[in-house]
Structure 1
Amino acid sequence: MRMITLGAMSELPEATTWIGDIMRKLLIATGSVVALFFIAMFSLPFFIDVNQYRGTIQTQLQTRLYRPVQLGRMSLGVFPLRVQVQAVNIGEDPRYRSKLPFAQVGQMDVSVKLLPLLSKNIEIKRLTLKRPTIELIKDVTGVWNFSSIGQATQIAPQQQGRNSAPPSAPAKAATGGSGSFALNELRIADGQIAITDLQKRQPRAVYDHIDLTLKDYAPNQPFSIDLAAHLPGKGSELLELSGKGGPVNQAQILMTPFDGKLEMKEVSLSGAQKFLNAAALRGTDASLSGSADLTSSGGRMTSRGSLKIKDAVIRNTEVGYPIAADFDLGDDLNGDAIQINKCDVKLGSTPLSVKGTLNSRSTPAIADLSVSTKDASIEDAARLAAAFGVAFSTSTTIGGKLTANIHAQGPTDRLIMTGAVNGRDLEIKGKGIPSVRVPSLDLTMTPQDIRSAPFTATSGATSLAAQMSIAQYATTSPTLDATLKTINGKVDELLNIANGFGVGATEGMSGSGAITLDVHASGPLKNTSALVFNGTGSMQNASLRMPSLTQPLNVHNARLQFTQNSVNLANLSASLGSTNATGSVSIANFEAPRLTLALAADKLVVGELQKIIVPDKPAKKAELSWDILPVVHAASAGQPGLFKTATGTGTITIGNLVYDRTNLTNVRSNINLDHGVIQLNPLTAQVFGGQINGSITADMRQDISSFAVNAKLTGADVNQLLTSVANTKDSVAGTLNATLNQTLSLPPSGDVTQTLNGPFAFTVSNGKLTKLDLLNELGKIAKFGESAKGYTAFSNMSGTFDIRNGVATTHDLKAALDVGSMAGSGTINLVNQALSLRLTTVLNKSFSQSVGGTGIGGYMNTALANKNGELVLPVMIGGNMGRPVVTPDLQTIAQMKLDNLIPSVGGLLGGKGGTGASGILGTLMGGAQPQQQTQQAKKPAPNQQQQQVQDLLGNLLGGKTQKKTPPPPK
């Protein structure tokens, strides 16, 4: 045995060498075969022109899809073996009348079998669509366009001509509607899908970045599907659906069986908003993760899973805690009815259980839900409600425990509820809101009403007892019944309670003082003007700061009486700014206040009042809505103030009414308020040392208030008026009677004068022009000499000024002087006091003769004489009201001489037989008078008249004019 073993061992090296040679040869042979295979495969594109298979591939696709197909440039790819086709277009079912094809593909890879390819046959194994755009359309009957793929349909002639020739299907395929379309695998890479739902009349929605793998698809056979949607965002942002389905129910797609799983991995709602193009998700964000098992059979789907929400933002407000949910849902896909078998939600640490059904087919949805929680923290639920803009401000925090058991039925906008909500140890705090405590709050809900047990809200040392009920809450006409009581409550603490409960009308208000209330209110909740109030109250030493006022409203004393839809403030003593008022005020309809006033104020400074009233800012109106629980949408600050919303009537007396430099005293008037427009009519007051009777209308609605004055002024001091209006002191003196219809405003510059507009008719008696010695100036011009007095006295001056932006224009100014009369026209700029007037003065006969009559040095140059022997002196007045400048009016003198129209004293003043100042001045300016028209034949021709005026002006100026030599006749 030993010898045999030794012999075998001596032969072992030779055997090993022999085996190694064989293995090496086998490896070389295998490598050669593999190399030849790769060489052959890589050589295929050079030996096979796949474009020769275009017709075959196109026919197979059209045969399987029963849709027109267009193929672009083709090439052959290896590993895997495939035909690459560019610019593929798959036509739409003509029944859907779409202008877009069913699919447009940038590149399509068609995987084929090798051996049939070598024998110049094409057998398709797999299709890969890269960056396709696919149009999915549901018609009005609920049938999707993809349901007809693989089914023979009649293609409209125009569709055939536009896309391609109709498919030439084999006879076998033509006999079976769905027997021709089968595919081992279909892949969509980074696709875009557009969905149009004509049944629900929803607009076209586009979904991007979708990957899809469909395997083993064949008629009447199950298939598998993997779908992934990549959403924009910073997380994983992946939505995946995988499972098995089929066979496809071509008649009713929703009846197709499916068993799979839906997963979300850090999907952001902001990314979903962009992906879904859903406007409802704007301003909302969160990170969603979770999974659900989906099972669908016979048109009914069940879903069981969990969902976690982190970093939730609702309406741009951070919720501040995670939300988790475990659910078991069933959905009737045909009836749109969702069965909630279980939905356990945790809002932070607050548990909430929801069960029931929700039918979303109708609008609004129909609910039958049960909601319950026990001894849960109310803080997280209240913060979520605030984020949705209901019940509380987002800056408000609420502590305490909540127990609720509610059954809600009916349309979601008119839910009928039964059950109870119980709150314990509630505490409300927030920015600018000290602690408000409610030991207990119990609500009982029935189909008829929501009723609270009596409860007490406390802030500091102030307690407010309340009880309320809302009847017919599920109808369009809910009614309120509420009672409020407090004794000597502090105003600031009562405002804290109101702000804590989200009463928008008190937002931004603060105050001090004491108030007592015992009020009962009842009536329609949506029409607060129809609420009926009963009760009493009082206020002492109260000070209220409101967003609509820059200064506090101080109520020193007021007795409150609530009756019907109004509150009466009797024995009122209040102040605002420098104004102190007493009397009574009645306020009806708190939504659009109607006031009845009987007030007496010591003074009212209009400029101060304008600064106190804050201009309106756009604001959200407080409103009511109903959900599972009744909620109040709090109104934001900046709502229109009392002046802008109130209407009313009454009487008012004011000791001093100050407007710029104008001071009215002992003002008595009826007052009418109309949404920021205040009218005093009829008004009586003392002003400028006289009496004013008429009306004043103040429009306080804009940043710059405007005023309209329509009144008569009697016995006033004209100097005071000019000092106030034009800031011109001691230029005119006398007693003024006037009729004015003026508009004006108080601009930021404070200069009222430049805003004056309207007519002003006046008469000044026994007056003086203190800055103008007219006779002395006329003596200088006419060279008759007259001692200087320093002023011009007149017994009467009258006229009408048409004022535009502070510039007064007159055409009928006239005055009776001690020694004659005066008439004029022109402008007086009340803003800068500039003068531009033309005056004609007629000196009576006795005075004219006393200064020399026609023998004065300026006769026929600067002065004329009429047939009565009265000197007539036309002049122009420039300069300003403080320093007038008088110069001769040579043009008027020339025109008078030419027209032989020399006025008399009576003519200027409009005496018997005279035309008055306006008629004479109009004639001098080129107007025609009736008596002149009868003598037109006696007047020289226009050219001759013009030459006479030029000659006369030349003589007046001391020069000579040369007559032009007429041109020789042609």
Structure 2
Amino acid sequence: MRRIVRWAGIVVALLLLVLLSAPFWIDANDFRPMLETDLSKALGREVKLGDLKLAVFSGAVTANDLSVADDPIFNRTPFVRAKSLKLGIELWPLIFSHKLNVTGLTIDQPEITLMQSPSGDWNFSKLGSGSAAKTEPAEPRPAKRSLDLSVKLVKITGGRFSLGRLGGHLRPFVLDQVDFELRDFSYTSIFPFSLSARVAGGGEIKLDGKAGPIDPSDVALTPAQASLKVAQLDTAGSGVTEASPGLAGLISFDGNGESKGNVVEVTGKLKIEKLKLAKAGTPASRVVELDFAIQHDLRRQSGLVRRGDIHIGKAVASLTGSYSRHGDATVLKMNLSGPGMPIPELAGMLPAMGMVLPAGSSLEGGTANVRFDLEGPTDRLVTNGSMAFNNTRLSGFDLGKKMATIEKLAGIQGGPNTEIQTLSANLRMAPDGMSAENIKLVVPAIGEMGGGGTISPANALDFKMSVAVHGGGMMTVVSDKPIPFLVEGTCSEPVFRPDMRAVAQQEINKYKGEAGKAAGSLLKGLFSGKKD
């Protein structure tokens, strides 16, 4: 028994001695030309490694530098540049047969540039499908050494990914502190992956899923299924809405996607806080939520919003349509429909659109119906449609008192609030302002008003209106015809003035009518009179 223990101890000691001495009689750099060549062939790109070192106890070979060439169509600088590369290896084949079996790759702090061309191709689309650039032949090494690249785990730690467009003028979308893991990789099978990162400018991203088999014609078209979680993505700070300076907000997203070839199906729930929709706007106080289903074409860089249910508190609207990418711009062609929406819920969105109510006022009660068509680039979006408010109150605003400054309307009775039975109009909203036509406003305490006008981006008012005053009290003797007036000033401080030109035109028309009647009577008398 003692002899067995003694021999076992000797064997263990010899093995330890072999392990401890391995770095002295195995030069890891002997494998560098082979690694560079085989990795270059596998990726179809030139791969360069720095000095290699063997770490016996961790079973790894490390390189102090790594660079992978980019597709020359996109860039002449490296596609990947990293401070170090760690290769997990099988130790015994290395020691006893000088065979390097790689079981894992860990890339530390890489900088990876992802670029997309106007045609939809990515600079990683052809990875693994072509031959690497030719390299200078290295000095011959011992002949009986080979590489068996059997990678079970690929990891990226502390990476920085930069996503941009070839020929684009916008800053790239940057992910920092990227941790990526891919297991059981094979070109011909399905493999799981995960990614977590911080967004430069604000936000966090977490992605989990599975992909494969690799599409040999375009890596970007590889089938995949994934779940995506985004937290507090700052659209302005990250540059997502750089092409549309008026848009901003904090986006959180929880959804799933599945890609098959060119087509990606995405469903999920989007939450937007502090939403801003116009340059002159301020962040909305209400949170906007969107339940949606999108079909996106990777090659055409366009898609369809099949379902888009917008929730603003208890107000619900539907957004559907299409979008497409043209250069740096995203072009929309969509329809928005919202029946029976509580008006107070929508009032919190007015600041986001750069719209304000009269100073000290607020909307209370009532419902709104809207139907709009949205078309054009997001930075020059034109919205046309109709809007109707029913049975609401503009609290804190005395419309009667404001209108009573007009002489012909001096008898209008005011009140602390303005009750609105109906307000409807056809609207056009664009970067150059808003126009309203076919306005119909029914205020029971005053009467029925109509007209049209514009609101500038600075909220300056220019409206030509008329009012048919309801009979009763002093106003019964004012006029039996609509009284014209102007609305000027600003949205926060509207000013009501008599429309003297319209009044004068009314008088001219009146006298023309009276003169015509008189002339007609005279002619009738002349031609109908009897001869003596």
Shared fold, TM over 0.5: yes
Q: Aligned in 2, Cα 1:49/1:335: closer, same or farther, shift over 3 Å?
A: closer
1:78-89 equivalences under 5 Å are 78=56, 80-89=58-67
Which of 448, 462, 466 is the aligned partner of 1:483?
A: 466
Could you say which residue in structure 2 is the equivalent of 1:441? Answer: 423
CA gap 1:428/1:65 in 2 versus in 1, 3 angstroms? same
Q: Secondary structure at the match of 2:124?
A: helix
| CA spacing shift, 1:111–1:308, aligned 2, 3 Å | same
Matched with 1:467 is: 450
Partners of 2:359 and 2:84 lie apart in 1 by: 52
Amino acid at match of 2:388: V
1:584 is matched with none
Which secondary structure state, in structure 2, belongs to the residue aligned with residue 54 of structure 1?
helix
Letter of the 1:224 counterpart? P
Q: In structure 1, how many angstroms separate the alpha carbons of the residues matched to 2:15 and 2:161? A: 41
User: Structure 1 residues 253 and 104, CA, compared in 2 at 3 Å: closer, same or farther?
Assistant: closer
Shift of residue 379, structure 1, vs aligned partner: 2.4
What does the per-residue CA deviation read over 1:817-876, in whole Å, with 9 as the maximum and x for residues that have no partner? xxxxxxxxxxxxxxxxxxxxxxxxxxxxxxxxxxxxxxxxxxxxxxxxxxxxxxxxxxxx
Change in CA separation of 1:319 and 1:278 when aligned onto 2, cut-off 3 Å: closer
Structure 1 pair 28–259 and aligned structure 2 pair: CA distance change class (3 A): farther
TM-score, normalised to structure 2's length? 0.69
Q: Which residue of the partner structure matches residue 90 of structure 2?
A: 113
Determine whether 1:452 maps to 2:439: yes
The alpha-carbon distance between structure 1 residues 54 and 406, as it changes in their structure 2 partners (threshold 3 A), is same
Q: Does the aligned pair in 2 maintain the 1:370–1:407 contact within 8 Å?
A: yes
The correspondence for 2:54, drawn from 63, 68, 76, is 76
Q: For structure 1, which runs of at least 5 residues remain unmatched after alignment?
A: 1-21, 169-179, 472-478, 490-500, 520-532, 537-559, 565-970
Contact 1:436 1:457 (C-alpha < 8 Å) held by counterparts: no
Indicate how the Cα distance of structure 1 residues 288 and 70 shifts in structure 2: closer, same or farther if over 3 A, else same. Answer: same
1:350-391 Cα offsets, whole Å, 9 max, x none, are 3222142122235672424241232x3222322213223135
Q: CA deviation at 1:502?
A: 10
Give the superposition deviation at 1:428.
Answer: 4.8
Q: What does residue 165 of structure 1 align with?
A: 136
Residue pairs, 1:319-338, within 5 angstroms? 319-338=284-303
Shift of 1:226: 1.2
**Aligned mate of 1:198, from 126, 148, 166:** 166
Whether the 8 Å CA contact 1:295–1:303 is kept in 2: the answer is yes
Of 315, 318, 323, 1:354 maps to 318
Matching residue of 1:843: none
CA separation of 1:252/1:94 partners in 2, compared to 1, >3 Å: closer, same or farther? closer
Distance 1:77 1:277, change over 3 A: farther
**1:150 aligned residue (110, 128, 135):** 128
Letter in 2 for 1:113: E
Q: Summarize deviations over 1:579-616 as a string: whole Å, max 9, x none.
A: xxxxxxxxxxxxxxxxxxxxxxxxxxxxxxxxxxxxxx
- CA, structure 1 residues 409+56, in 2 after alignment: closer, same or farther (shift >3 Å)? closer
- Contact 2:211–2:222 under 8 Å retained in 1: yes
Contact 1:323 1:345 in 2 (8 A): yes
In structure 2, stretches of 5+ residues that fail to align are 140-147, 403-415, 429-435, 455-461, 476-485, 510-532
Q: What is residue 503 of structure 2 aligned with on the other side?
A: 535
The CA RMSD measured in Å over matched residues stands at 4.7
1:372 to 320, 335, 338: 338
Query: CA–CA distance in 1 between the matches of 2:469 and 2:159?
Result: 68
User: Against the structure 1 CA distance between its residues 454 and 238, is the aligned structure 2 distance closer, same or farther, given a 3 Å change threshold?
Assistant: closer
**Matched residue, 2:259:** 296
Task: Name the structure 1 match of 2:207.
Answer: 241
Q: Determine if contact 1:486/1:518 at 8 Å carries over to the other structure.
A: no
Aligned to 1:188: 156
CA contact (8 A) 2:207 2:227 kept: yes
Contact 1:350 1:378 in 2 (8 A): no
SS in 2 for 1:217: coil
* Letter paired with 2:466: T
Aligned counterpart for 1:262 among listed residues 225, 228, 246: 228
**Structure 1 residues 195-594: aligned runs within 5 Å:** 195-198=163-166, 204-231=172-199, 237-253=203-219, 255-264=221-230, 266-269=231-234, 273-276=236-239, 279=242, 288-310=251-273, 317-347=282-312, 349-361=313-325, 365-374=331-340, 376-390=341-355, 392=357, 397-406=362-371, 408=373, 410-411=375-376, 413-417=381-385, 421-429=388-396, 435-443=417-425, 451-456=438-443, 463=446, 465-468=448-451, 482-484=465-467, 504-505=489-490, 517=498, 533-535=501-503
Q: For residue 94 of structure 1, what is the aligned residue in structure 2? A: 72
2-side partners of 1:30 and 1:68: how far apart? Answer: 48
8 Å contact from structure 1 (residues 386, 393) kept in 2 = no
- Residues 378-422 of structure 1 show CA distances to partners (whole Å, capped at 9, x for unaligned) of 2232221322313547976322322325263654744554x6633
Q: Which digits, 9 at most, give the CA deviation of each residue in 1:466-512, with x for residues without a partner?
A: 213589xxxxxxx98742467999xxxxxxxxxxx9965475688xx
Task: Rate the CA distance shift 1:95–1:53 in 2: closer, same or farther, 3 A.
Answer: same
Distance 2:393 2:4 in 1: 88
Structure 1 residues 340 and 429, CA gap change in structure 2 (3 angstroms):
farther
Identity of aligned residues (%): 20
Q: Does the residue aligned with 2:83 lie in a helix, a strand or coil? A: strand
Q: Report the residue type matching 2:422 in the other structure.
A: S
Determine the C-alpha separation between the residues in 2 that align with 1:502 and 1:334: 51
Residues 638-717 of structure 1 mapped to structure 2, 5 A cutoff: none
Contact 1:342–1:353 at 8 Å: present in 2 too? no
Task: Give, as a single letter, the amino acid of the residue that structure 1 aligns with 2:163.
Answer: I
Letter in 2 for 1:452: I
Separation in structure 2 between the aligned mates of residue 364 and residue 71 of structure 1, nearest angstrom: 41
Q: Deviations over 1:865-898 (max 9, x none)?
A: xxxxxxxxxxxxxxxxxxxxxxxxxxxxxxxxxx
Cα pair 1:484 1:518 within 8 Å, conserved: no
Give yes or no for contact 1:292–1:306 (8 Å, CA) kept in 2: yes
- Secondary structure of the residue aligned to 1:70 is strand
- Structure 2 counterpart of 1:373, which letter? P
Q: What is the aligned partner in structure 1 of residue 517 from structure 2?
A: none
Residues 73 and 240 (structure 1), Cα distance of their counterparts in 2 relative to 1, 3 Å cut: same
What's the offset of the Cα at 1:233?
8.3
Q: What is the Cα deviation at residue 165 of structure 1? A: 2.6
Helix, strand or coil at the partner of 2:107: strand
Q: Secondary structure at the match of 2:365?
A: strand
Task: Sort the Cα spacing of 1:208 and 1:457 in 2 relative to 1 into closer, same or farther, 3 A.
Answer: farther
Instruction: String of CA shifts for 1:771-820, please: whole Å, max 9, x gaps.
Output: xxxxxxxxxxxxxxxxxxxxxxxxxxxxxxxxxxxxxxxxxxxxxxxxxx
Q: Does 1:55 align with 2:46?
A: no
Change (3 A) 1:420 1:202: closer
Alpha-carbon displacement from aligned partner over 1:212-242 (angstroms, at most 9, x marks no partner) = 22233333433322121123689xx431111
Q: Which residue does 2:526 correspond to in 1?
A: none
SS where residue 339 of structure 2 aligns?
A: strand
| Residues 188 and 214 in structure 2, CA contact (< 8 A), matched pair in contact too | yes
CA shift, 1:129, in A, is 1.0
The question of whether the paired residues in 1 share the 8 Å contact of 2:253 and 2:270 is answered with yes
Cα distance in 2 for residues equivalent to 1:185 and 1:51: 23
Give the AA of the match of 1:70. Answer: K
Structure ID, larger Rg: 1
Distance 1:297 1:109, change over 3 A: same
SS at match of 1:62: helix
Change (3 A) 1:129 1:322: same
Alignment CA distance shift 1:377-1:139 (3 Å): closer
Aligned length: 450
Q: CA deviation at 1:154?
A: 7.1
Q: Structure 1 residue 243: deviation in Å?
A: 1.0
**Alpha-carbon separation, structure 2, partners of 1:286 and 1:207:** 18
TM-score between both structures, scaled by the size of structure 1: 0.40
